[in-house]
Amino acid sequence: MEISAKKRILSGIQPTGTFTLGNYIGAVRNWGLLQQEYDCIYMIANMHAITVRQNPADLRRQSREAAALLLACGIDPQKSIVFVQSHVPAHAELSWVLSCNTQFGELSRMTQFKDKSARHADNVNAGLFTYPVLMAADILVYNADLVPVGADQKQHLELARNIASRFNNAYSDTFTVPEPYIPKTGARIMSLQEPDKKMSKSDTNVNSFILMLDEPDAIRRKFKRAVTDSEGAVYASEEKPGVTNLMSIYSVFTGKSFEEIQREFEGKGYGEFKDAVAQSVIDVFSPIQNEYRRILADKNYLDGVLKAGAEQASRIANKTCAKVYKKVGFLQL
């Protein structure tokens, strides 16, 4: 996988509970498709997860579950590298060098640090402040050409680009300066209860998000309770954020345009519309859930995939890290 004319993509996801419908639409759904065109490296970002206090046993379990769910969603370990971040020490090793090439002011301007500090005021740790540097190391240690990013990660990718350029200027060309990868199609999925906010599994209201492993009855119930409005007509509008959000979800899962959806539900109430949205999600998630359970039950297979992935990732990352260590003047034996 190291010798290829294809561009390399790096992406990761934290193992802090089951992925949401928003995670699926915004990221995971596209990852399997990218395998055909790019060299893909996908990591379970468990090192990033501990900026917020985690239960160790849960983190271990959820790391394996996250890997199983990625595989169930169509990521092929014969085509992509799939691994757990902490299994490749070069991430942390490179992060220290990059920290010494990152300005305090740059990190101070990271909006996610401010947001997370406010949410976790009892644990504003140094890792929360410096984790954008670790994120830069994740990307640069593989010389990734492209990084899929959402609106909330654009600032972090720009920092990675700045760090790479600064290091290259100081020590000669070393890192590929990564570019953002913007999916051709996608939708920003909002909370079912507060459609002006992004869907998040950290929301205290469980009816605000759909988890990929939710049972069909739970999916139907959550969509039935989704906030709409009093008008009763299905069409997209800034004044109808709840309905527009449901239309976005239905469009992704059925391939229908907003115009087709509006025609389909013309003269019909929100109840029938919500049932249809729920069923479209269930039809996609049910086979994924079955495959997830099959993979998770085969511990030897799953751990074998992760071990092989870590070995592949380490071969690339260790070369980059050794080159960086030599350039900054670390004595090598």
In tens, the pLDDT along 178-232 reads: 999 977 655 689 999 999 998 988 788 999 999 999 999 999 999 999 999 989 9
Three-state SS at 302 = helix
Residue with tokens 């990675």: 160
Q: Which of 79, 201, 256, 319 is catalytic?
A: 201
In angstroms, the Cα distances linking 136 to 25, 59, 76, 295, 307 are: 24, 23, 25, 31, 23
- For the question of residue 319 being annotated catalytic, the response is no
Judge contact between 140 and 160, C-beta under 8 A: yes
Alpha-carbon gap, residue 213 to 23, rounded angstroms: 12
Rg from Cα positions in the chain: 21
* Tens place of pLDDT per residue across the chain (333 aa): 444 579 999 999 999 888 999 989 988 988 988 998 999 999 999 999 998 889 999 999 999 999 999 999 999 999 999 999 999 999 999 999 999 999 999 998 888 777 777 777 777 888 888 999 999 999 999 999 999 987 667 888 999 999 999 999 999 999 999 999 977 655 689 999 999 998 988 788 999 999 999 999 999 999 999 999 989 999 999 899 999 999 999 999 999 999 999 999 999 999 999 999 999 999 999 999 999 999 999 999 999 999 999 999 999 999 999 999 999 999 988
CB-count exposure of residue 46 (10 Å: 0-12, 13-18, 19+): buried
CB-based contacts of 115: which residues, under 8 Å, 6+ apart?
none
Q: Which of 198, 222, 240, 274 is catalytic?
A: 198
For 85-191, where are the alpha helices, taking DSSP H only? 90-99, 104-108, 111-119, 126-140, 154-171
In angstroms, the Cα distances linking 144 to 6, 122, 323 are: 11, 35, 16
Give me 264's structure tokens: 């389909």
- For the question of residue 201 being annotated catalytic, the response is yes
CA dihedral 18, 20, 23, 24 (to 10 degrees): 100
Q: What CATH number is given for 206-292 in this structure?
A: 1.10.240.10
Q: Which of 7, 79, 114, 116 is catalytic?
A: 116
DSSP 160-211: HHHHHHHHHHHHSS-S---EEE--SS---PBPSS-TTSB--TT-S-GGG--B
pTM for the model: 0.90
Judge contact between 130 and 99, C-beta under 8 A: yes
Give me 99's structure tokens: 């920290």
b/e code 112-137 from CB counts within 10 Å (16+ = b):
ebeebeeeeeeeeeeebbbbbbbbbb
CB-based contacts of 230: which residues, under 8 Å, 6+ apart?
none
Which pLDDT belongs to residue 186? 58
- For the question of residue 7 being annotated catalytic, the response is no
Question: If you ran DSSP here, which 8-state letter would residue 20 be given?
Answer: B
pLDDT tens by residue, 58-86? 999 999 999 999 999 999 999 999 999 99
Q: Does 206-292 match 8-186+298-328 at the fold level?
A: no
The architecture of the domain spanning 8-186+298-328 is 3-Layer(aba) Sandwich (3.40)
Q: Which residues pair with 91 in a beta bridge?
A: none
- Domain-by-domain residue ranges, the chain? 8-186+298-328, 206-292
